[in-house]
Every structure is written in C-alpha cells, then in structure tokens.
Amino acid sequence: MQEILSRLINIGVPKEMNPEQAKYIQMANLSSLVMIPVMLPFLVLCLLNGWRLLFLEMCLFNGLILLTTALNRRGRHEAANIFYGILVNAHLVITTVALGSDTLMPLLILCGIGGAITMIPRGDIKPVIMAFAMVIASYAAALVLVGAYGPFYQLTTHQLHILRGFVAVGLFIAISVNAAIGRLGASITEDRLRAEQQRSADLLSRLQEEDRRKTEFFQNVSHELRTPLTLILGPLEGLLADDDAALGESHRRRLEMMMRNARRLLRLINQLLDLSKIDAGKVGLSPRSGNLSAFVEDLTRSFAAYAEQKGIALAVRDSGDGVTADFDPEIIEKVVSNLLSNACKFTPAGGRVEVSVTAPPGHREVGIAVRDTGIGIAPADLATIFDRFHQVDGSTTRSHEGTGIGLSLVQELVRLHGGRIAVRSEPGRGTVFDIFLPREQTAPPIPAAEAFGFAYAELESNGLESPPLEAAAAETPPGKQPVILVVEDNPDMREYLCKGIKTRYRVIAAVNGEDGLEKARLHQPQLIVSDVMMPVMNGHVLCRALQADERLKTIPVILLTAKTSREAVLESLESGAIDCLTKPFSFDVLLVKIRGILQRKAEHEHLALRDRLTGLLNRGAWTQAVGHEMEKLARYGGVLSLAFLDVDNFKHVNDSHGHQTGDQVLIELATTLVGELRSVDLLGRYGGEEFVLCFPESSGANAVRLMQRILQVFRAKPIGALGLQCSFSAGVVEIGPDKVLSLDEYLARADAAMYQAKREGKGRVLLWRPE
C-alpha cells in the first residue's frame, strides 16, 4: 500500500529534483487525490435528492482533478498549479449558485484556500496573495449570480440539515485522509532526504577512500622507485669517485649524464610526494628565527655552477643589513630552488638571473624576488601558471622540459608558510616572481637541527672520518671483524648492500624480517641493516621483535626507508631503530653510520664491563664470566681455582703519598698480573684495592705457586717517582666438579684465606683449607 501511494504522490517528480522542491509537487498530488474521497458523500447526496446538474458538475470536477496529476507527470508543474486553482474556484461558484450561499461556502473557501496554499513554493508570498484574491473574486461572482438567478435547487430545512451532516462527514474524511496521506508524504519526503544524505555521505566516503588510496599509492610508488634509484645512483657515484677506475673521457661523460638524469628523476619523485603530503595535510611548518638573507644567498650560490655552464649571470642583490625573519628552512629551500631552477632553465645564454631579499621598514612582511631576463610568460598563461600540472607549452615540440608540478608546489608551500606569491612577466623580456612572507610566525622557534627535519640523505658523520676501505679492512683481522646482518627482500638491493658492506665487515643476508629475526638469534650480529617495506615481516615489526627478545634487544638497527616524511622517520625510530636512511642514499653515509654506531657500542660495552682505572673486568663482568666457567666445570668436570687479592698497607700509601700514587700502585699491579697470567685466566678488580682471579683447569697448589711468582715480580718493581715497593696478600680456593657452594661462598673462603695471610705477616699467598 505504501509503495502504491508513494508512486501516486511522486507522479511527475524527477529523480534528480531537489527534495525541497519535490515536496510541493508531492503535496499538489496529495491535494488532488484527497478531493476524490471527500466528494463521494456529496455525489451520493446529489443522487438521493435529484440534483442532476450538481451531480454531473461534481463528476466532471473529479475527472478534471486527475488532469492535474497528468500535467505534473509531463513536468508542467506551474500549469498544474494554475489549472488546479481555477478548477477549485469554478467549483466554488457553481456549487454556490446551485445550493445557495448559506450551505457549502465555508467548506469550499477552506478547500480553495488550502489547495492553493499547498501548491505554492516556500517563501514566495505572491501565490498566496493570488490564491486569496481568486477565492474572494469567485465568492463575489457567486453572490452576484445567486442574486440574479437564485438557487437552482430550493432546499427544505430537512435537506439543509442532511447537507450539513454530509458536509461534516466530508470535512472529517478530508481532514483524516489529508492527515494520513500528509504524514505518509512527509515520511516519503524524509526517506528521500535521508537517502540523499546517505548518498552524499557514501560519495564523501568514497572520495576520502580514493584520496587515502592515492596517498598510499604515492607511498608505495615511492618505495618502488627509490629502491631502483638507489641501485642506479649508488654504483654511479662509486664509479665516478673511483680514481682507479679506467674510465675514458667519453665514458665518464656518459656516466655523468646518467647521474644528472637519475637525480632529476629523484627531484621529480620528491615533488610528487610533496604534493601528496600537502593534500593529505601531513606537511607542517617548523619556523626558526634566522638570517633569511644569508640563507637565500647561500642557496643561490649552489646554482652558480649550473648558471656558469649555461652562460648566465647569477647575482644576489644585497639589501645592506641582513633580513632577519622566522622561516622554515626546508620549505624556503624548496621554494627558492624551484624558482631558481625555472629561471635558469628559461633564460638563454647571456641572460641574467637575480635574487633579492627585502624588508621594508614598518612592514610585517619580508619579500623574496627572483628575476630573470628569459623568454617570459604570455599574458594568457599568467592566470593559470600556478595550476597543478599546467605547462605554458604542452605541445610535443616544446623546447623546455617540465611536468607542471614545480610552480604549483611553490604556491602550496608559500601558502603553508602563511605567505603569498605573485608573478609579473613580459614576453621576450623576462619574469619576476615575488614572494611575501610574514616576518614573524606564531609557532615558537625551534632548534636549527629540528627545523631542517630529518635530512638523512646528507652526510652525517658525527665527527667521524671514513678511512679508505683498504685501511679499514686492514685494521681488523678477518676472523675478528664485526658481523653485520643485512635484511632486504629485493635481490639486487640485497646484493648491492652486501657487496658494499663486506669490504669492512662479515655479512649475513636475510630475505625478509622473519628470516632476519631467525638469523639474528642464530648469529648474534653486532649490527643489523634492514629495509622497512618487506613481505612476511616488515622492518618496524622486526625492530619490535628484537626489542622484545632479551638476548637481541641491544643489537643496533639501521632502517632503510623510501618514505621521506618526518612522521615516517619518527615511526622508524620509535619502533626501536637507532638510525634511519632514506632512499636513495650515499653508501659512504651508510658506512660512516655503521662505523660510528659500532665504535660507540664498543665504547659503551667497554665502559659497562671494564674498570675505568685499570682496564680490567669490573666486578659484575668478572662474576658473569666466572659463572660460565663454573657451569662448564659442572658439565664437563675438571678443576678450577679462585684467588682473592688485597694490596698491603694501601691506606697508608694513600694517606702518606696521595691518591694519585695509590692509583699508580693499582695500575702497576694490574699490569703485572696481566703480564704474568695465561690467556684463559680471568682477572678483575673487585673494588678498591681488591682483585679477584679465576684459574680454569688449575689446581689450588698451582694457583698458589703462580700467585707467589707474581708477588715476587710485583715486590721488585719500584712505583712512582719515590720508587715505592709494595706487596699484596692473597687467598686461594680450589673448586672441584662436585662443587656444592655458590660463587659468593667460594669467594668468601678465598677472602678468609687472604685475611689469614695478612695476620701471618702480609706479603703471603695461602690456600684455603677446612678447619
């Protein structure tokens, strides 16, 4: 039933019509439909009373009402409204003349006005005035006709009573049906509005999803393009830098041409990624206060070689005192570099390119202008010069390369910086790009290192110099070289990394993160170099897995990523990586980073395991090492001995000669011990003037004899400028395979033997024996 009524109400309503406009056509259809059931009681009354003329008029009226729906269906909505108004008022006149002015007039006036009002557009008062005027005119005409001709039918009191009853019933039916159908019409309209809103929401969701996929596509394409670019730029850079390579001049020129075009492709990729990041709202402003003039001047000088090659005069107009402003160096570098690149490209030999930075007194803006005497821009193209992907000459015969990205990116970055850009040009005479930036930014200044972002493609040596490969390889014997694990899914990239790294280190390769995790557990490498985007397990998941493993959490990881955004680099560092390089990168940078990380790791391990003064194992490291020896003793049998040593009269040395002399005594004792002990023996400083020793596969008696020989050597050595002669006392304990005590308990026995030696006169070595 609802479906039928919906179709009737929506006769003549186009699907593309605005729901608010469609509402009035639906109400017109409702009014037409509701008049038919309202008129049925009057048709019955006319038949019963023999009012044939009125009966025929009402049948014709109902038939003509259906004509309004037909007009609506044909799209003639205004004609339907006018026809409906004329029909209602004509019926008003005829009924009044037939039955008299005191019968149906109130109901007909109500129906006439109500019908007219339902068809008028919202907010338009003219149709309302016209509807009232038409009803009043029709009523006046009816009164004139009644006065001239009188009612056609003379009603008795009984007939008048019945008629008014039928009027009440008809009015009730009209109100009920109109309310029901009106509610239905409102429901249909609401449903339609909700459907429109849902369609709009679905469209917005699809657009957002497409935008997300576009950004994801750019990121994935970035990875797929940056990896091969790394494999192109890296070997090319190595070939051109290798003085021993037998390259002829023609071959070198070809390689340099390949390098230039590979770098040009990299710049294009970076521009596309910058646009995608701007669209996604992922580019932020990091201003810092600095000398904008000096920054732009240094940037301009980097184009000097290019300008000289083209025969162009490149100049920076000095404004006197340097212009200081709040600016984001990374953004300004991209803006000025793009404009300088365009200026040099479109300026012929013998031309001039000039850059200036100005700050008019009293103004809150600073200006950067890039002028050239190039070919200029036609007036018709000035309006679209900043449109994305627009090219002034897009024909196949154009003489200048370009993609139409640079100027659009410049405008977006200038707007991001809170500024504006304008262009002035005259064909054949040159072009001027004017940039206006706010002198002060609302964001607080940040350190320069942060302001430049993560420029990992630049050489970061942290004060370390990279020695020649041959010298570095010669520094460490092959068997002692650190082990580097390379995790990379791309076979070519994996081979490139392994080949470059194995000139200095031992290399193990893995094809993905899962394989890398297994090989890290098996080989315990000193460092891991891993790609980020890999199947099975990516680099970030690998880092988290390493951090979760107690045996692997200290292994440093360098991640290689194709994503250049600050967020991507932060994600890599937050996953547990110690450093991050963006592709394509310089292999020298990677090697310097590896060397620096391994050096710092070795220094930290040394500090963590060694005593600062003597360089011996500290208490914790010695205890851990001896614990392993005791485990081997329990597993394989044998014997080992422990010794506890204390310098005699050490407090007197410190008090009489100073702590510096005391330190010399400890250093000399440590040197003597190291020189006399076997390579398998373990020596540590236990604290203060106390030392501990472990003698694997040595009985207590042998350990005592060795310690006595060391005591004689130490006594004979003069220490310091005063030539002090010192001694020590030591206790030894032997541990067999049936050991039942802990390491601390055995040390306590050695300590007890040492104090017994002191009580017996010092300068002695005693073996602990049960009492």
* Active site (catalytic) residues: 689
> 683, 616 in Cβ contact below 8 A?
yes
> 539, 559 in Cβ contact below 8 A?
yes
Give the DSSP letter string of 382-421: HTTTTSTT--S--STT-SS---S-HHHHHHHHHHHTT-EE
Burial 471-496 (b: 16+ CB within 10 A, else e): ebeeeeeeeebbebbbbbbbeebbeb
> 226, 584 in Cβ contact below 8 A?
yes
- CA gap 365, 560 in Å, rounded: 40
299: nearest Cα among 268, 340, 264: 340
β strands within 429-526, DSSP E: 430-438, 483-487, 506-510
3-state secondary structure of 357: strand
- Phi and psi at residue 451, in whole multiples of 5°? -60, -35
| Structural tokens at position 703 | 């350990």
Give the DSSP letter string of 78-104: HHHHHHHHHHHHHHHHHHHHHH-TTTS
Long-range Cβ pairs for the range 576-582 (8 Å, 24+): 576/543, 576/544, 576/546, 576/547, 577/539, 577/543, 579/456, 580/454, 580/456, 581/456, 581/457, 582/226, 582/454, 582/456, 582/457
- Phi and psi at residue 182, in whole multiples of 5°? -65, -40
- CA gap 157, 502 in Å, rounded: 120
CA-angle at 142, arms to 138 and 145, nearest 5°: 140
- CA gap 41, 54 in Å, rounded: 13
640: number of CA atoms within 13 Å, CB side? 24
Q: How many residues does the chain have?
A: 771
Burial class, 150, CB count within 10 angstroms (exposed 0-12 / middle 13-18 / buried 19+): exposed
Contacts of 402 (CB under 8 A, 6+ apart): 345, 391
- CA gap 757, 606 in Å, rounded: 34
451: number of CA atoms within 13 Å, CB side? 19
| Structural tokens at position 222 | 């970035």
What letter represents residue 746's amino acid?
Y
Cis amide bond preceding 584, omega within 30 = yes
Query: C-alpha 416: how far from its chain's center?
Result: 17
